Amino acid sequence: MKDLALDIRVEKTQNSRLSEVDFNNIPFGKIMADHMFVADYSDGKWHDLRVVPYGDFQLGPATSSLHYGQAIFEGLKGFRNAQNPSEVLVFRPQENAKRLNVSAERICMPQISEEIFMQGLHALLEIDRDWVPDTEDSSLYIRPFMFATDNFLGMRPSETYTFAIITAPAGKYYSKALKVKVEKEFSRTAPGGTGVAKVAGNYAASLLPAKLAAEQGYDQLLYTDAKEHKYIEESGTMNVMFDIDGTFVTAPTVPVEDTILRSITRLTVIELLQDMGKKVEERHISVEEVISSIKNGKLRGAFGIGTAVTIAPFATIAEDGVDYDLPTDYTFSLELKAKFQGIQKGELEDTKGWTYKI
Ligand X SMILES: *Cc1c(COP(=O)(O)O)cnc(C)c1O
Q: Which residues bind ligand X (CB under 6 A)?
A: 75, 198, 234, 237-239, 261, 263-266, 306-307
Q: Where are the beta strands (DSSP E) in 209-265?
A: 220-224, 232-235, 239-244, 247-250
43: left (phi > 0), else alpha (psi -120 to 50), else beta? left
Minimum CB–partner distance for residue 102 and ligand X (Å): 12
Pick the closer one to ligand X by CB: 162 or 235: 235
The 3-class secondary structure across 270-329, one letter per residue, is: HHHHHHCCCEEEECCCEHHHHHHHHHCCCEEEEEEEECCCEEEEEEEEEECCEEEECCCC
Pick the closer one to ligand X by CB: 139 or 237: 237
Minimum CB–partner distance for residue 232 and ligand X (Å): 13
Minimum CB–partner distance for residue 270 and ligand X (Å): 11
Minimum CB–partner distance for residue 55 and ligand X (Å): 26
Minimum CB–partner distance for residue 265 and ligand X (Å): 3
Minimum CB–partner distance for residue 20 and ligand X (Å): 29
In the chain, the amino acid numbered 316 is: T
Please provide residue 291's backbone torsions phi and psi, each rounded to the nearest 5 degrees. -65, -40
Minimum CB–partner distance for residue 60 and ligand X (Å): 29
**Distance between CA 259 and CA 253 in Å, rounded?**
7
| HSE, side-chain direction, 13 A CA sphere, residue 266 | 25
Minimum CB–partner distance for residue 93 and ligand X (Å): 11
Pick the closer one to ligand X by CB: 263 or 293: 263
Pick the closer one to ligand X by CB: 149 or 202: 202
Pick the closer one to ligand X by CB: 198 or 345: 198
**Distance between CA 316 and CA 214 in Å, rounded?**
14
Pick the closer one to ligand X by CB: 125 or 238: 238
Which uninterrupted H or E stretch holds 72?
Answer: strand 71-73
Count Cβ atoms below 10 Å from residue 127 Cβ, excluding itself: 17
Pick the closer one to ligand X by CB: 51 or 146: 146
Q: List CB contacts of 203: < 8 A, sequence separation 6 or more.
A: 237
What Rg, from alpha-carbon coordinates, does the chain have?
Answer: 21
Residue 317: beta bridge partners?
180, 324
Angle (CA) 81 83 86, round 5°: 50
